[in-house]
Amino acid sequence: MRATSRRGTAIVAALAAAALLATGTIAVTEKPAYAVDYPSWNDVLEARRDVARAQQKIKEIRAAIEAITAEVERTQAIAQEKGDIYYEAQIAFDEAAYTAEQLQAQADEAQARADASKLRAGQFVAELARSGGGDLSASLLTNPGQADELLSRLGFASKITEQAEGIYAAALQDQNAAQSFTEQANVAKGIRDELRAEAEAAYQEAQAAAQEAQTALIAQQENQARLEAQLAVLVENRDATEKDYQAGVRAQYGAGSNVDAGQIVSGWVVPVSGYITSPYGTRVHPLYGNVSFHSGTDIAASCGRPIYAASSGTITYAGWSGGYGNFVRIDHGNGLTSAYAHIQPGGILVQQGQEVVVGQQIAKIGTTGLSTGCHTHLEIRTNGNPQDPVPFLRSKGLTIG
């Protein structure tokens, strides 16, 4: 566990990130008008009959290819920008949530000590009352013949008074400590809640940008090959072949093998086969060298190997997300989500809004984003709060690594 002062630094950084988000940098860039008039094969074949029309159609097709390529580049740039902002906002929230959790735990421990000190003080007072601690000075004046015994009792009473003062001071100190930790925890919770809202706003922006980029990419995949085939027919001034007509068939998402049904336990499955290289919790960052909070578990395996949906659900994010690199998140319902980071380029096999089933291949292992090698960063969250994937999956009867 890190010292509170180090966590305080993280909170300052988190507040700075929140301030950055509040400046308006998160606003979506105004989308320019985007409409491409795709020529049909009939248009192309008709244009071949006239040189001038053919030249004009060649210009139109080249313009269409440039337009869809530019749209993909534009949307991907925005998606990367928003994904970077979302990643930073998420990290800031995770740091704040961890700080609030640790301070609350310290507050609870301090309150338990304070309660124990109060109980000791009460028991001491009760015991003193039962022992009949009277006015020894008055007894000494009225019974001078018992001076030795009374003076001895007076010295003992003085020691009792010192002990009582010590117990009282300890109880007061423990109560003050409990109050201080509680106040710090409440402040940290307030910061956490503010950063949660910022992270959610950044997530919505990044999600929309990722969806727009994905739509543009699909349009490119569906149309560019056909446009290039049409262009070749016109430039080469030849008849279209069956191969030309088949160019540009839409790429199918979700392709890949699924796990065997026998590996599914209680509706869950181990999403990645490999070994754990970095567990959940505080760690020394492998790239930056600082102590930071790690919101998931890193599972190492060869690039290109499959990543499976840990459980059935809906894809709520599929795209770039800053240090996470290429990133997929699944909503399993009831506030529970799983997420998979550092997916290889072109390795996302699902689309936002798609329903997936447990054990379905959703991606391929990679090393994009802040990564030192091929692995998957696996996250499990409940209502946005990260939890350790290892005991979570163990509770489902599954073991990672």
**pLDDT tens string 70-124:** 888 888 888 888 888 888 888 888 888 888 888 888 888 888 888 887 787 777 6
Beta carbons of 76 and 29 less than 8 angstroms apart: no
Residue 3's CB is within 10 A of a number of other CB atoms, namely 9
N-terminal to C-terminal alpha carbon distance within the chain = 24
Beta carbons of 336 and 309 less than 8 angstroms apart: no
**Separation of alpha carbons 200 and 80, rounded Å:** 17
The more confident residue out of 189 and 163 is 189
**Separation of alpha carbons 55 and 47, rounded Å:** 8
Mean pLDDT of 374-393: 94
pLDDT at 81: 86
pLDDT at 379: 96
Among 177-186, 256-265, 389-398, whose mean pLDDT is lowest?
256-265
Residue 66's CB is within 10 A of a number of other CB atoms, namely 11
Determine the angle formed by the axes of helices 4-20 and 147-236, rounding to 10 degrees: 40
Q: Which residues of 306-335 are buried (b: 16+ CB within 10 A; e: fewer)?
A: bbbbbbbbebbbbbbbbbbbbbbbbebeee
Instruction: Please report which helix (H) or strand (E) contains residue 171, including its range.
Output: helix 147-236
**Separation of alpha carbons 223 and 245, rounded Å:** 12
Q: How confident is the model at residue 270 (pLDDT cuts 50, 70, 90)?
A: very high
The more confident residue out of 43 and 367 is 367
Which amino acid, residue 329? R
The more confident residue out of 65 and 366 is 366
193 exposure class (CB count in 10 Å sphere: 0-12, 13-18, 19+)? middle
Q: What percent of the chain has pLDDT over 90?
A: 23
Residues 6+ apart with CB under 8 A from 291: 2, 6, 282, 283, 284, 285
Nearest to 311 by CA among 389, 253, 384: 389
Q: Angle at the Cα of 122 (from 121 to 126), degrees rounded to 5?
A: 120
**Any bridge partners for residue 348, and if so which?**
363
Q: Strand ranges (DSSP E) for 221-305?
A: 275-278, 281-284, 291-294, 297-300
For residue 292, what are its two tokens? 């930071």
Q: Where in the chain is the domain with CATH 1.10.287?
A: 4-246
pLDDT at 29: 38
Q: Does 3.60.21.10 match the CATH number of domain 261-394?
A: no
Cα separations in angstroms, 281 against 99, 182, 291, 327 = 12, 23, 10, 20
**Can you name the CATH fold of 4-246?**
Helix Hairpins (1.10.287)
Residue 190's CB is within 10 A of a number of other CB atoms, namely 12
358: left (phi over 0), alpha (psi -120 to 50) or beta: beta
- Segment of 80-89, 139-148, 384-393 carrying the highest mean pLDDT: 384-393
Q: Where in the chain is the domain with CATH 2.70.70.10?
A: 261-394
Encode pLDDT of 3-55 as tens digits: 333 334 443 343 333 333 333 333 333 444 455 667 777 777 777 777 777 78
Mean pLDDT of the chain: 76
